[in-house]
Structure 1
Amino acid sequence: MKILPTSGNINYSSVKKIPFVFLLLFAPQVHAEELEKLRINRAIESGLRIVQKGAENYPNNRECFSCHHQTLPMLAMREASQAGISIDEELMQEQIHFIRDYFEDRVESVTEGKSVGGRSLTAGYLLWSFELGGVKKDQFTDAFVSYLLHHQKKEGNWDVQTNRPPSEESKIHTSYFAINYMNYYARGESIEKKVKEATEKSRSWILGSKPYSQEDFNGKLKALIALDAPAQEIKKARQDLLQRQQEDGGWAQLPEMESDAYATGQTLYTLITSIGSSERDAEFVKAIKRARSYLISTQKDDGSWFVKSRSKPIQKFFDNGDPHGKDQFISISATSWATAALAKYFSTKVP
């Protein structure tokens, strides 16, 4: 069973305030590789400012746990930190405290499989948030592991409660979250045994699943890795992702849609974390470089990425102060994925 965790000579801190146009004027004096690293670094820092501000504002507007304003910004923050970029560490821990406070009086009922809006996907995102924040196993994480055990379907998968695409539409991705984070946070002989049984029960469903959306395809690759599936199955799932790359270097949420930063950021992140550096062939490296270029070229001047929402409103809209008006929730998710993917690209030193 595998649990997914999720250079150069330029001093980035000393040059980040220099106008990029000025640097371009002196491009002949700067090695092309170093200039590209600088572009990526600036894109990460710009995206990070957007997602940290969004995460900071969110508790002023809502009291409930949020994947788009908490988990995904936390992912971007962690990956930026691992890429050597300074983040707001206090804000990272504030997200954990917020989540604990929201569920603190429901731990007992959560353990019984109750009291979680959004059900299995929410539970999975919550445990992922805790992993991102470095939270150790405790009674709180026990409750959400038990919750997921309660909600596994007889076929072996986990369902989504509502249809709010792209993040809330994929049984495959939801099942990945359950499999991965139950195993990450399971403790005690009895629970560990139940988690192992649930994991094995999910295996045939995952192997036989038929992805349609990009969220499905990404979820299947991650689930296969988490299940330590046969190498040929993992290779096929990775190849399926590569074959879905568009001419512009991005990926689309659905086959009939155009590329966007949400699907591209998530897919680039999934691909980079799915394979060791020694296994990356020329085709793989070319694909992720094209995706990197797509993200850098589509970033807005304020540091965000814009994606138009295709989700029908379920809750009343509120303005969190993020860019892009009524499309701000999908856009901050996209900005988080894009920032995380570029940071992972940067820290893994793709050739």
Structure 2
Amino acid sequence: MNLLIVVSLLVAAPSADSPSEAPAESVRDAVTRSVPFLEREGQAWIDNRKCASCHQVPFMVWSLNEAHRAGAEVDLKKLNETIAWSTDWQNWSASKNRDETKQEQAKSGNIDTMYQLLLGRNYAANEADDSPAEWVETFETALATRQQEDGSWTACGQLPLQNRPERETNEVSTMWTLLALHPRSGELPNWNEKLDAAKKYLQEAQPGQSSEWWALRMMFEQRFGSLETATELKQELLSKQREDGGWGWLVEKPSDALGTGIVLFALSHDRQEADAAVESARQFLLDTQKEDGSWIVPSTLKRANGKVKDTSTYWGTAWAVIGLARTQPTN
């Protein structure tokens, strides 16, 4: 795999339309300070776990690409190797002695890891590539075949154990999957039928308990539904911003980097009338970053009872970098 794969995964950061109180240099410095943490802890996970987990390796790739685009120095050679490793099905489990073919492994793979790796690539180009890498087609085919009869995609790994209703977690995985598949949906058999089934499933959704759900619901309506509904959802999302400028991953909890980064990512696609909220969120992240470049984040798992975990801190740090990079001011 060559450097073109890295380029294809890069996500372009939208420019700010209005002046911001936080200068671009401050945002870039915060992103730059996170790079060694993301590189070191991400590689340690690969070395120790030998697992391309949905909460660690894909966000290592995505956030480092965002950091590079924001002007931070990133080891692209090493990043390229990580992309090659993370998209090779033989490396998706510590067990190396399986008899299944790669395609069979793909069909049983973790859908959340697949759509996350695709998102990092798809949001770069904002359109389908004429000649995507082999892993892209493999992941897309595998994801398309994993849709459930009710139109949903079922979350995998530890995600169903998160501290929110299980159906909400499945709704989130469904919306992320649709956004990941959309750029090349014309290549997928029965795409319109799959999309219609997913829409029907989501029509029965109850208001989410997580800011991730609200952010994704807004993006889903922007891409697949009603712009009027998307505007209403954006206003609802903005109303959930806390006084310190951030969002909690759970909307009723204190602000954290995970929820705030996800919301900034969503708002980067529609900044109209949201610049003040974006600036406040950026400032929250600048004010709460630790010396080692990380952000301390409580675990999303119900059994953790709000305790900080290394995995949630890494996940939240990656999302903070993504959110900052995508909304980096131009001044």
Instruction: Give the TM-score normalised by structure 2.
Output: 0.78
Q: Distance in 2 between matches of 1:33 and 1:222?
A: 24
Q: Distance in 1 between matches of 2:308 and 2:101?
A: 32
Alpha carbons of 1:256 and 1:181: their partners in 2 closer, same or farther (altered >3 Å)?
closer
Alpha carbons of 1:108 and 1:313: their partners in 2 closer, same or farther (altered >3 Å)?
farther
Q: Structure 1 residue 340 and structure 2 residue 296: aligned?
A: no
Alpha carbons of 1:40 and 1:87: their partners in 2 closer, same or farther (altered >3 Å)?
same
Q: Distance in 2 between matches of 1:265 and 1:91?
A: 25
Which residue is equivalent to 1:29? Answer: none
Larger Rg: 1
Q: 1:66 aligns with which of 40, 53, 65?
A: 53
Which residue is equivalent to 2:289? Answer: 299
Report how far residue 224 of structure 1 moved. 2.1
Which residue is equivalent to 1:120? Answer: 111
CA contact (8 A) 1:308 1:331 kept: yes
Report how far residue 246 of structure 1 moved. 0.8
Q: Structure 1 residue 155 and structure 2 residue 144: aligned?
A: no
Q: 1:251 aligns with which of 247, 260, 264?
A: 247
Q: Percent identity?
A: 23
Alpha carbons of 1:95 and 1:133: their partners in 2 closer, same or farther (altered >3 Å)?
farther
Deviates more, 1:161-170 or 1:53-62: 161-170
How far does the alpha carbon of each residue in 1:296-336 deviate from its partner, in whole angstroms, 9 at most, with x for none? 1111122110012242679xxxxxxxxxx971110011111
Q: Structure 1 residue 41 and structure 2 residue 28: aligned?
A: yes
Q: Structure 1 residue 78 and structure 2 residue 60: aligned?
A: no
Deviates more, 1:305-314 or 1:62-71: 305-314
Alpha carbons of 1:196 and 1:213: their partners in 2 closer, same or farther (altered >3 Å)?
same
Q: Distance in 2 between matches of 1:138 and 1:146?
A: 13
Q: Distance in 2 between matches of 1:47 and 1:66?
A: 20
CA contact (8 A) 2:294 2:317 kept: yes
| Alignment-mate amino acid for residue 263 of structure 1 | G
CA contact (8 A) 2:221 2:227 kept: no
Q: Structure 1 residue 141 and structure 2 residue 132: aligned?
A: no
Which residue is equivalent to 1:236? Answer: 232
Alpha carbons of 1:66 and 1:166: their partners in 2 closer, same or farther (altered >3 Å)?
farther
| Alignment-mate amino acid for residue 259 of structure 2 | A
Which residue is equivalent to 2:15? Answer: none
Summarize the alignment of residues 1-351 of structure 1 with structure 2, pairs less than 5 Å apart.
Answer: 36-103=23-90, 106-110=101-105, 113=107, 115-116=108-109, 119-131=110-122, 137-161=132-156, 162=158, 163-165=160-162, 170-186=169-185, 188=187, 192-210=188-206, 211-227=208-224, 229-272=225-268, 274-275=269-270, 280-281=272-273, 284-311=274-301, 327-346=309-328, 349=330
Query: In structure 2, the residue corresponding to 1:252 is in which secondary structure?
Result: coil
Q: Distance in 2 between matches of 1:48 and 1:61?
A: 20
How far does the alpha carbon of each residue in 1:258-291 deviate from its partner, in whole angstroms, 9 at most, with x for none? 111111111112111x21x5xx22xx11111111
Query: In structure 2, the residue corresponding to 1:170 is in which secondary structure?
Result: helix
| Alignment-mate amino acid for residue 289 of structure 2 | Q
| Alignment-mate amino acid for residue 229 of structure 2 | E
Q: Distance in 2 between matches of 1:182 and 1:67?
A: 17
Q: Distance in 2 between matches of 1:331 and 1:198?
A: 35
| Alignment-mate amino acid for residue 335 of structure 1 | T
Alpha carbons of 1:33 and 1:176: their partners in 2 closer, same or farther (altered >3 Å)?
closer
Q: Alignment length, in residue pairs?
A: 296
Report how far residue 207 of structure 1 moved. 4.5
Report how far residue 244 of structure 1 moved. 0.7
How far does the alpha carbon of each residue in 1:107-140 deviate from its partner, in whole angstroms, 9 at most, with x for none? 32146x3x21xx4323322333554798953543
Report how far residue 158 of structure 1 moved. 1.4
Report how far residue 66 of structure 1 moved. 1.9
CA contact (8 A) 1:182 1:195 kept: no
Q: Distance in 2 between matches of 1:52 and 1:237?
A: 35
Q: Distance in 1 between matches of 2:278 and 2:115?
A: 27
Q: Distance in 2 between matches of 1:268 and 1:186?
A: 26
Alpha carbons of 1:141 and 1:103: their partners in 2 closer, same or farther (altered >3 Å)?
farther
Alpha carbons of 1:110 and 1:178: their partners in 2 closer, same or farther (altered >3 Å)?
farther
Q: Distance in 2 between matches of 1:66 and 1:129?
A: 15
| Alignment-mate amino acid for residue 88 of structure 1 | D
CA contact (8 A) 1:164 1:311 kept: yes
Q: Distance in 2 between matches of 1:333 and 1:185?
A: 27
Alpha carbons of 1:106 and 1:181: their partners in 2 closer, same or farther (altered >3 Å)?
farther
| Structure 1: gaps spanning 5 or more residues | 7-31, 315-324
Deviates more, 1:120-129 or 1:61-70: 120-129
| Alignment-mate amino acid for residue 142 of structure 2 | Y
